[in-house]
Chains A and B, each alone.
Chain A
Amino acid sequence: MVSKTFTIQNKYGIHARPARLIVETAVQFKSEIHLAKNNEEIDAKSIMGILMLEASKGSELLIKCDGEDEKEALQHMTEVFEKISELTEWEEV
């Protein structure tokens, strides 16, 4: 299992559109991918789970990948979270 912590930086947090991006990335991998916030942990392939996590600005998420392609999965998941941090630019328009 590999993992990494990420702090949500965009103003609106993980909303519907960012959640879509996360799911679209996660489902590409065979590994189990979980996101944990405080004591709650959800499946990153579930959009409802992500929405229910209330990942607002400033919250710390632990991204956990477990499986044969876990390293690659973690890298892509980190990238998608970084991309989401850019979202403010667009949502402010």
Chain B
Amino acid sequence: MGQQTDILLKGIAASPGIAIGKVLIIGSETLEVEKKTLKTSDIDAEIEKFDSALAQSISDLEKMFDKTRASYGENAAQIFNVHKYILQDPMVVDKAKKKIRAEKVNADWAFSEIMNNYISKLKGMQDERFHTRTTDIQDLKRRVTRYIQGGSQQHLTKLTQPSIVFATELTPSDTIRLEKANVLGFAMDFGARTSHATILARSIGVPAVVGLNRAGQLIKEGDNMILDGDQGLCIINPSTKSLSRYKKRYDEYISLERQLHSIKNLPARTKDGKDIELASNMEFPEEVDHICELHGDGIGLFRTEYLYLAGSTNPTEEQQYQDYKHILEKLAGKPLIIRTFDLGGDKPPASLSLSREDNPFLGVRGVRLYRNSGEDLFRTQIRAILRASALGDIRIMFPMIACVSELRECKAALYKIQKELDKEGVPYNKSIPVGIMIEVPSAAAIADLMAQECDFLSIGTNDLIQYTIAVDRGNKNLAYLYQSYNPAVLRFVQQIIYQGHQQGTWVGMCGEMASDPLMTMVLIGMGLDEFSVSPVSHLLIKEIIRHVEYHECESMAKKALDFSTAADVEKYLTDIYQKKFKRLLHL
């Protein structure tokens, strides 16, 4: 290979990570549409042909919806419903039929003309964000036209080896046919952060750079490429210099990854044999496959706010039930802790029309909302959770509990709904575990009283820190005061665990502190039963657990509690971490 000069292209960083590999080009399928004039007597048959092509296409789209939903989740799948509605829209269907009749032309021609017209209208829009939608119209044009012409849907080039997939534009139906295990990353000329391919890239955790404009003119199949999804760069035929720079970055990343990968199937157990429960936090159902691959102890925090933020009409009981059911099936017996809606605060859902508050973080959020106008929302969610509890290990967790009476109220409401289900004869787990988040100082101070009335506690450190130190974590001027290692916070954590254990209740942690490698040993030493961490940190935390002994963690926890300032604690933790893990993790 001769000396290469970088061809550096700047696009939009759509999904993070680095990929180095050969390019596979997914070409647009060529589509020949010829204009033919029909005899009047053939028109009815032509319309029939068109109708049956539409029916076949709609049935494809329904299958693709199910398939995408199963592997990428509801949100990614919705695009196929959009496609379906377009094929049921009079502005498409009736218009095409009218054209066939009036101009006596063949259906594929009439349909293509109408779709082309929409494509050029979209392309002419001032707001460039609308240009990405032409991909969807193209996709539909191809699908229906192919059926009219009596062909089957063409299959894409098989992805037989790991490659960076390049396309001018990748339609939703293109992407679903790609063998996802062989996709190193996506590069596209077209597209934006809202493109379908972008959404999929993020859901399977591969880098993507889109909006490259004219890369298609420069890229050949089999070219080497570096894809930098962090910075939105794409380097074609990279020079030796670039290649070695990126290889180094990639290797460091990969060697840690590989080292961590090798412990996937091993237990989260300390050197002296103490098992630690290591679960994952989950924000969207799409993440469940990735989480299962980590072989952890299930999901310790499933944030359900996505159901509201996704903007759909109020999530129905059935819709929620289906999502929970889907996740439970994937988890195959491992626990799923569902945190009931923690809405309000700075992001109240529009549908609840809450009044504006001067202090939203001290206002109507979490369980406080349930009595304030969110009664239906609570009831619907609890019904869905209870119904799903018949299918697997589901547990309920209430957010923002500040005093015991709130916990009692929630439990009473839960009980009432259970009675309802009994009456309806709907099966559910009658001894479903109920726990609470400890994230308000008033709850932390009486963890023992809380523990007496529920099955588990989970420490939410993000809010606990902000409420304990009285510092808004979004306030840049106060960033120095948002201290994870603040001695008051550490004391709270230690007390919550201790008092929970006194009452025979297990104590977990689902805040960011659980994902902080500097804190792992301290938390083990304090006796934390369960770590629920972000999926990215999962294996790193496990590797640390596997290299420590419980008794050394205990003495470290004691020592950490002795310091007077957050800075002293941090220095102490960093020193030990560097000494102990630097070589281990090639940091």
Residues in A lying within 8 Å of B, measured CB to CB = 12-13, 15-21, 23-25, 46-49, 51-52, 54, 56-57, 79-80, 82-87, 89-93
A83 close to B129 (CB less than 8 A): no
Residues in B lying within 8 Å of A, measured CB to CB = 75, 78-79, 81-82, 85-86, 89-92, 118, 121-122, 125-127, 129-130, 133, 136, 193-194, 202, 284, 306, 308-313, 347, 349-351
Which B residues are CB-close (under 8 A) to A56? 125-127, 129-130
Cβ distance B31 to chain A, nearest Cβ, rounded Å: 20
Asked, given contacts A16-B82, A17-B82, A52-B121, whether A90 binds B311 with beta carbons under 8 Å apart, the answer is yes
Q: 20 A-B Cβ contacts within 8 A?
A: A17-B78, A17-B79, A17-B311, A48-B86, A49-B91, A51-B118, A52-B118, A54-B125, A57-B127, A79-B351, A80-B313, A83-B311, A83-B312, A83-B349, A86-B309, A86-B311, A87-B310, A90-B310, A91-B194, A92-B193
A89 close to B79 (CB less than 8 A): no
B78 close to A20 (CB less than 8 A): yes
Asked, given contacts A21-B311, A46-B91, A89-B309, whether A13 binds B129 with beta carbons under 8 Å apart, the answer is yes
Q: Which of B75, B133, B313 meets A15, CB within 8 Å? A: B133
Q: Which of A17, A46, A82 meets B351, CB within 8 Å? A: A82
Tally the A-B contacts, defined by beta carbons under 8 Å.
94
In Å, the complex CA distance between A85 and B308 comes to 12
Which B residues are CB-close (under 8 A) to A20? 78, 81-82, 85
B114's nearest neighbour on chain A, judged by CB, is A48
Looking at B193, B308, B309, B347, the one whose CB has the most chain A CB atoms below 10 A away is B309
B347's nearest neighbour on chain A, judged by CB, is A89
B91 close to A13 (CB less than 8 A): no
B118 close to A83 (CB less than 8 A): no
Looking at A21, A56, A83, A85, the one whose CB has the most chain B CB atoms below 10 A away is A83
A15 close to B311 (CB less than 8 A): no
Cβ distance A11 to chain B, nearest Cβ, rounded Å: 8
Which B residues are CB-close (under 8 A) to A19? 82
Q: Which of B85, B122, B133 meets A23, CB within 8 Å? A: B85
A10's nearest neighbour on chain B, judged by CB, is B311
A83's nearest neighbour on chain B, judged by CB, is B311
B310 close to A13 (CB less than 8 A): no
In Å, the complex CA distance between A83 and B310 comes to 9
Taking A82-B351, A86-B308, A86-B349 as given, write out 17 further A-B residue pairs in contact, using a Cβ cutoff of 8 Å, ordered by the A residue number: A13-B127, A15-B130, A16-B79, A16-B136, A20-B85, A21-B313, A46-B90, A47-B86, A48-B91, A48-B92, A51-B130, A52-B118, A54-B130, A56-B127, A86-B311, A90-B309, A93-B284
In Å, the complex CA distance between A13 and B79 comes to 16
Which B residues are CB-close (under 8 A) to A21? 311-313
Which B residues are CB-close (under 8 A) to A93? 202, 284
Cβ distance A93 to chain B, nearest Cβ, rounded Å: 8
Which A residues are CB-close (under 8 A) to B194? 12, 15, 91
Which B residues are CB-close (under 8 A) to A47? 82, 85-86, 89
A86 close to B78 (CB less than 8 A): no
Which B residues are CB-close (under 8 A) to A52? 118, 121-122
B126 close to A83 (CB less than 8 A): no
In Å, the complex CA distance between A21 and B311 comes to 8
Q: List 7 A-B pairs, minimum CB-CB distance, nearest first.
A: A56-B127, A82-B350, A48-B91, A47-B85, A87-B311, A16-B82, A89-B309
In Å, the complex CA distance between A13 and B118 comes to 18
In Å, the complex CA distance between A69 and B439 comes to 46
Which B residues are CB-close (under 8 A) to A89? 309, 347
In Å, the complex CA distance between A64 and B79 comes to 27
Cβ distance A18 to chain B, nearest Cβ, rounded Å: 7
B313 close to A24 (CB less than 8 A): yes
Which A residues are CB-close (under 8 A) to B312? 21, 83
A25's nearest neighbour on chain B, judged by CB, is B313
Which A residues are CB-close (under 8 A) to B89? 46-49
B81's nearest neighbour on chain A, judged by CB, is A20
Cβ distance B138 to chain A, nearest Cβ, rounded Å: 13
A51 close to B129 (CB less than 8 A): no
Asked, given contacts A46-B89, A82-B350, whether A51 binds B313 with beta carbons under 8 Å apart, the answer is no
Asked, given contacts A12-B129, A47-B82, A54-B126, whether A83 binds B313 with beta carbons under 8 Å apart, the answer is yes
Cβ distance B101 to chain A, nearest Cβ, rounded Å: 20
Which B residues are CB-close (under 8 A) to A57? 127
Looking at B129, B130, B202, B284, the one whose CB has the most chain A CB atoms below 10 A away is B130
Which B residues are CB-close (under 8 A) to A24? 313
Which B residues are CB-close (under 8 A) to A12? 129, 194
Which B residues are CB-close (under 8 A) to A25? 313
Cβ distance A47 to chain B, nearest Cβ, rounded Å: 4
B129 close to A90 (CB less than 8 A): no
A16 close to B349 (CB less than 8 A): no
Looking at B79, B86, B118, the one whose CB has the most chain A CB atoms below 10 A away is B86
In Å, the complex CA distance between A38 and B185 comes to 42
In Å, the complex CA distance between A19 and B125 comes to 17
Which A residues are CB-close (under 8 A) to B202? 93
Looking at A51, A57, A89, the one whose CB has the most chain B CB atoms below 10 A away is A51
Looking at B81, B85, B92, the one whose CB has the most chain A CB atoms below 10 A away is B85
In Å, the complex CA distance between A14 and B89 comes to 17
In Å, the complex CA distance between A85 and B347 comes to 12
Which B residues are CB-close (under 8 A) to A84? 311
In Å, the complex CA distance between A56 and B125 comes to 10
Q: Which of B122, B308, B311 meets A18, CB within 8 Å? A: B311
In Å, the complex CA distance between A12 and B130 comes to 8
Asked, given contacts A21-B313, A25-B313, A89-B309, whether A16 binds B133 with beta carbons under 8 Å apart, the answer is yes
In Å, the complex CA distance between A51 and B91 comes to 11
Cβ distance A51 to chain B, nearest Cβ, rounded Å: 6
In Å, the complex CA distance between A83 and B313 comes to 7
Which A residues are CB-close (under 8 A) to B118? 48, 51-52
